[in-house]
A = this chain, B = another copy of it.
Amino acid sequence: MPRNNTTLIALDWGTSSLRAWLFDRNGDVLDTRATDMGILHLPEGGFPAALQTVTEGWVTASTPILACGMIGSRNGWREVPYLDCPVSVADIAQAIDRAADIAIVPGLRVGGAFSDVMRGEEAQVVGALAVRPSLADGAVMILPGTHSKWAHVSSGRIVSFRTYMTGELFAVLTRHSILGRLPSDCESPESARDEAFARGVLAAREPEASLSAHLFSTRSLVLNDRLEPGAARDYLSGLLIGDEVRSGTGLLATQRDASTVLIGEPALTARYAKAFTLLGHHAPETLGNTAAAGLLNLARAAGLLET
């Protein structure tokens, strides 16, 4: 690998994982790495060693490093204050903390009664704007994950966003609640699992029943032989994603002229697209993970790159 051709090391450093990209001078990715060295998995003071491991063979003294995610939180390497919405890409770039060798992107905040926070997803929003510049005119960007974000972009600014705990609820309920103790020797065939997912999505249409009641139905339906135990996880996934899409599309119905786009890993965005269709909406365009493009763009806007 020609080291003198490298221009940026970008890191998405979250709670449970650390992903790294090495860019060349043309903005193309030369190499990429994914590890489980998220901030919660590291010993105290373990950040420099983790950085050295993930960038092994990449680093030269002159290659700038830009990171986003929980690495900038109170429990991260250096706390970088949240930036209040609405914000433009230039605002975020200007607020990058460059106090040390590793520069850190600030998280974003929505103030007021509907307080919300993000750390890391802002890079994906910026990346989506780089990949599809027309989204700057008006878009709702949906970033499924542990803490799913629905971000509203208008006139080139991130106006506000809302977080759903969809991914984490699925994880804690299947690992730690009675819903994870359903009798199941094996997974059901794919057709049965697809059908269970669809049933979950459609059940979530009725908000009066409350998500908390719908969740318990995962158990009752299995006990009443109306749901295969091997498809219960898919039903639960459908309930949670369906509830998120129901709520998100309802809240964002006022942004009718905005494009809607799903950003993330294909397996997950495909589930969301299916939920949109089942609930009577057009399936949004889907983009892959745009964090790398976003970090490159922010580094450029901040003047971090060698010229």
Contact = CB atoms under 8 A, between A and B. Distances in A.
Interface of A: 15, 74, 82, 109-111, 114-117, 147, 162-166, 168-169, 172-173, 175-178, 183, 207-213, 215-217, 219-221, 223-224, 226, 240, 243-244, 246-248, 250-251
Contacts of A211: 210-212, 243
A153 B164 CA distance: 36
Contacts of A115: 217, 220-221, 223-224, 226
Contacts of A213: 162-165, 247
B116 A164 contact: no
Contacts of A248: 210
B217 A164 contact: no
Contact of A176 (B117, B163, B175): B175
A116 to B, nearest CB: 5
A197 B307 CA distance: 55
Contacts of A164: 210, 212-213, 216
Given A115-B221, A117-B220, A212-B244, 17 more contacts: A109-B223, A111-B224, A114-B217, A115-B226, A116-B216, A116-B217, A117-B219, A162-B213, A163-B220, A164-B216, A169-B215, A172-B172, A172-B173, A172-B177, A210-B211, A212-B243, A213-B247
A232 to B, nearest CB: 13
Contacts of A217: 114-116
Interface of A is mostly: helix
22 contacts: A74-B183, A115-B221, A116-B217, A117-B223, A162-B213, A164-B210, A164-B212, A166-B212, A168-B177, A172-B172, A172-B177, A176-B176, A207-B207, A207-B208, A208-B247, A208-B251, A209-B251, A210-B244, A211-B211, A211-B212, A212-B247, A213-B247
A165 B212 contact: yes
Which 6 A-B residue pairs are closest in the complex by CB-CB distance?
A: A210-B247, A207-B207, A115-B220, A163-B216, A115-B224, A211-B211
A268 to B, nearest CB: 16
A220 B115 CA distance: 6
B224 A109 contact: yes
B176 A216 contact: no
B210 A243 contact: yes
A224 B172 contact: no
Contact of A172 (B74, B176, B208): B176
A20 B221 CA distance: 31
Nearest to A118: B220
A117 B224 contact: yes
A59 to B, nearest CB: 32
